[in-house]
């Protein structure tokens, strides 16, 4: 199959979150399965500074945006490791900026215009490059116009007739909502600005647009696919998703083990596998404690957290537990991330009060993220919601036992260490359901007690997780199954339309 993946970010070219990791890994996995993927992404400053050569395609386009015409060009590179072609939509006025979507905490005011241009550039590039395309795989609101433009303007154009679309939701909370006059920028008729298609409480909603016009919808875990059909996680679009539930699929993200595996990880003090993990993790734990200025105590549980310091990630729960535990529980905390100012200040205060218990780096550091995964004993993810989550999957491979809240992909991947699950050999972590600090604290205490006093059981949990396979191969095959269904739907739709004429 010929698959065009349209995405607003992709590693190693650009990244703000997990979307980039997915779109960086999925194309290579699809190619290994015998398919032909290509990737399209905007030409941000990050892309141009990624150190990967960009070549000219000699393709330029003039795209109407509202009352003006905007000129852009198409560059080309190859995805590292897989050699999958990646096409870069270059338009410096839109994309040559310090950040991808916002500056100084505020979204760019022309985001609708920027991503309208990107969507139309993708659609024009299919014609200009004479690309064979069976399915366009759209990702999040930034690509939500593509299914609409295809159905409204390109459906009967030569080469576009049988193209299907899949719209993947990576995080329902981000929908691309803009004031109604931005409808003019899209170039689509005002008749589509209605409550069934593109309008949402008086605003233009690009996520809704993609959900309505796409042939099928997917999201990044089976549990999240159910959760977003109800409040609050549907974020106002649960009705749209309920109507389309027959075409809604949950596919959990995979892990790229060429990057996230303790056997080959170049950032670790020692590499290890399930066969020698105790020695390997001991060396990594010592190195992590030294890196964060913590006492080198081999028997003290280290609790790791990596990511955004925000309520969505459960930090309103974590902060309270940490305040109680720094002076009462013999554990160390290894924390990496940036986010809300209140959590920055709280963590700085705790690290100053108990530097022997709290190691904090308020930044982004890829090497340290790997080192926390390997050097921690427990990885904590008490998220309010988590569409998929990747760190819990990394943790399993690194022998770091996840403690998670049962939501989204966390619920789909982590099985609680209950007596029954332990006896059945399927326990790979500790879970809790109520979003409550006391319940979190009880679950953490349960994990620490097993670590300190039931080491054989702990080792069993670690090895169960390390032996599980969360690689991209199975997830990519699931996407292929959905692509095939999308193509079959398009054939039926086209035949129906022709018969009706």
Q: Supply the pLDDT for residue 93.
A: 97
CA distance 450 to 278: 16
CB 41 within 8 A of CB 8: yes
CB 166 within 8 A of CB 196: no
Instruction: Give, as one character, the DSSP assignment of residue 121.
Output: H
Q: pLDDT over 70 for what percent of the chain?
A: 99
Extract the tokens encoding 453: 């006093």
Whole-prediction pTM: 0.91
CA distance 44 to 84: 19
Q: What is the mean pLDDT of residues 386-411?
A: 96
Tell which residue, 16, 19, 35, has the closest CA to residue 27.
35
Q: Supply the pLDDT for residue 18.
A: 84
Q: What is the mean pLDDT of residues 454-477?
A: 96
Q: Supply the pLDDT for residue 40.
A: 98
Using the predicted structure, report yes or no on whether residue 479 has a pLDDT greater than 70: yes
Tell which residue, 406, 471, 492, 348, has the closest CA to residue 29.
471
Give the strands of the sheet with 358-361, arranged side by side.
358-361, 332-336, 302-306, 378-381, 401-405, 430-432
Q: Supply the pLDDT for residue 62.
A: 96
Q: How many residues does the chain have?
A: 501
Using the predicted structure, report yes or no on whether residue 3 has a pLDDT greater than 80: yes
Q: Supply the pLDDT for residue 497.
A: 67
Vertex 339 angle, CA 226 and 178, to 5°: 60
Tokens 């969360």 -> residue:
470
Q: What is the mean pLDDT of residues 343-364?
A: 95
Using the predicted structure, report yes or no on whether residue 52 has a pLDDT greater than 80: yes
Cβ neighbours of residue 280 under 8 Å, at least 6 residues apart?
A: 262, 268, 270, 271, 272, 273, 374
Q: What is the mean pLDDT of residues 82-94?
A: 96
Q: Supply the pLDDT for residue 55.
A: 95
Is residue 341 classed exposed, middle or buried when 0-12, 13-18 and 19+ CB atoms within 10 A define those classes? exposed
Q: Supply the pLDDT for residue 364.
A: 83
Q: Which of 21-25, 69-73, 208-212, 332-336 has the lowest mean pLDDT?
A: 21-25
CA distance 164 to 350: 53
Give the domain 2-254+473-500 fold.
Answer: Rossmann fold (3.40.50)
CB 165 within 8 A of CB 147: yes
Sign, CA torsion 388/80/85/77: positive
Coil vs helix vs strand at 137: strand
The average confidence (pLDDT) of the chain is 95
Tell which residue, 232, 148, 225, has the closest CA to residue 193.
148
302-306/332-336 β-pairing? parallel
Q: pLDDT over 90 for what percent of the chain?
A: 90
Tell which residue, 431, 426, 489, 390, has the closest CA to residue 15.
390
| Equal CATH topology for 2-254+473-500 and 277-470 | yes
Helices (H) and strands (E) in the chain, counts: 19, 20
Using the predicted structure, report yes or no on whether residue 499 has a pLDDT greater than 70: no
Tell which residue, 75, 71, 50, has the closest CA to residue 61.
71
Q: Supply the pLDDT for residue 494.
A: 72
CB 228 within 8 A of CB 169: yes
What are the residue boundaries of the structural domains of the chain, listed by start?
2-254+473-500, 277-470
Q: What is the mean pLDDT of residues 190-195?
A: 97
Alpha carbon distances (Å) from 453 to 396, 445, 456: 21, 12, 9
Cβ neighbours of residue 247 under 8 Å, at least 6 residues apart?
A: 215, 216, 217, 489
Cβ neighbours of residue 442 under 8 Å, at least 6 residues apart?
A: 432
Q: Supply the pLDDT for residue 333.
A: 98
Query: Can you point out the beta strands (E) in 251-301?
Result: none
CA distance 317 to 304: 15
CA distance 366 to 391: 13
Q: Spelled out in words, what is the top-level CATH class assigned to the domain 277-470?
A: alpha beta
Cβ neighbours of residue 228 under 8 Å, at least 6 residues apart?
A: 169, 172, 219, 234, 235, 237, 238, 241
Using the predicted structure, report yes or no on whether residue 210 has a pLDDT greater than 90: yes
Q: Supply the pLDDT for residue 101.
A: 96
HEC letters along 429-446: EEEECCCCHHHHHHHHHH
pLDDT tens track for 93-138: 999 999 999 988 899 999 999 999 999 999 999 999 999 999 999 9
DSSP state letters, 23-87: HHHHHHHHHHTT-EEEEEEE--HHHHTSS---EEEEEEEEEEETTEEEEEEEEEEE-TTT--EEE
């Amino acid at each position: 199959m010929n698959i065009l993946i349209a995405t607003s970010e992709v590693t190693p070219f650009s990244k703000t979150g997990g979307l980039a990791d997915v779109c960086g890994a999925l194309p290579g996995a699809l190619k290994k399965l015998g398919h032909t993927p290509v990737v399209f992404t905007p030409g941000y400053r990050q892309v141009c500074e990624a150190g990967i050569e960009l070549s000219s395609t000699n393709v330029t386009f003039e795209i109407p945006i509202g009352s003006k015409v905007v000129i852009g060009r198409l560059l080309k590179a190859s995805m590292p490791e897989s050699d999958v072609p990646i096409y870069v939509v270059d338009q410096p006025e839109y994309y040559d900026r310090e950040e991808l979507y916002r500056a100084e905490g505020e979204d760019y005011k022309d985001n609708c215009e920027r991503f309208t241009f990107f969507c139309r550039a993708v659609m024009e590039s299919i014609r200009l490059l004479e690309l064979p395309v069976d399915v366009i795989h759209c990702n999040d609101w930034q690509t939500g116009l593509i299914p609409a433009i295809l159905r409204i303007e390109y459906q009967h154009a030569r080469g576009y007739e049988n193209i299907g679309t899949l719209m993947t939701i990576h995080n329902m909370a981000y929908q691309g909502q803009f004031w109604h006059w931005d409808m003019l920028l899209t170039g689509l008729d005002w008749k589509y600005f209605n409550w069934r298609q593109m309008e949402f409480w008086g605003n233009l909603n690009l996520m809704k647009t993609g959900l309505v016009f796409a042939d099928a919808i997917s999201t990044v875990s089976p549990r999240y696919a159910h959760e977003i059909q109800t409040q609050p996680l549907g974020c106002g679009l649960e009705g749209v998703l309920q109507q389309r539930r027959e075409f809604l699929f949950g596919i959990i993200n995979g892990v790229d083990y060429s990057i996230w595996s303790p056997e080959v990880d170049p950032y670790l003090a020692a590499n290890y596998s399930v066969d020698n993990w105790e020695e390997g993790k001991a060396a990594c734990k010592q190195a992590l404690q030294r890196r964060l200025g913590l006492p080198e105590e081999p028997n003290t549980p280290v609790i790791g957290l990596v990511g955004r310091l925000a309520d969505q990630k459960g930090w309103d729960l974590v902060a309270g537990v940490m305040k109680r535990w720094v002076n009462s529980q013999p554990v160390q905390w290894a924390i990496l991330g940036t986010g809300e100012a209140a959590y920055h200040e709280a963590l700085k205060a705790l690290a100053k009060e108990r530097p022997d218990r709290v190691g904090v780096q308020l930044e982004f550091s890829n090497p340290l993220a790997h080192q926390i995964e390997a050097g921690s004993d427990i990885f904590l993810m008490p998220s309010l919601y988590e569409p998929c989550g990747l760190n819990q999957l990394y943790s399993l491979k690194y022998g770091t036992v996840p403690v998670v809240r049962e939501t989204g992909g966390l619920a789909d991947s982590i099985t609680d260490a209950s007596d029954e699950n332990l006896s059945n050999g399927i326990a790979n972590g500790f879970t809790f359901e109520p979003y409550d600090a006391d319940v979190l604290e009880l679950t953490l205490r349960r994990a620490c007690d097993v670590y300190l006093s039931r080491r054989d059981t702990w080792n069993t949990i670690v090895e169960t997780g390390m032996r599980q396979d969360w690689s991209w191969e199975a997830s990519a095959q699931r996407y292929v199954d959905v692509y095939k269904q999308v193509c079959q739907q398009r054939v039926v739709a086209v035949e129906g339309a022709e018969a009706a004429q």
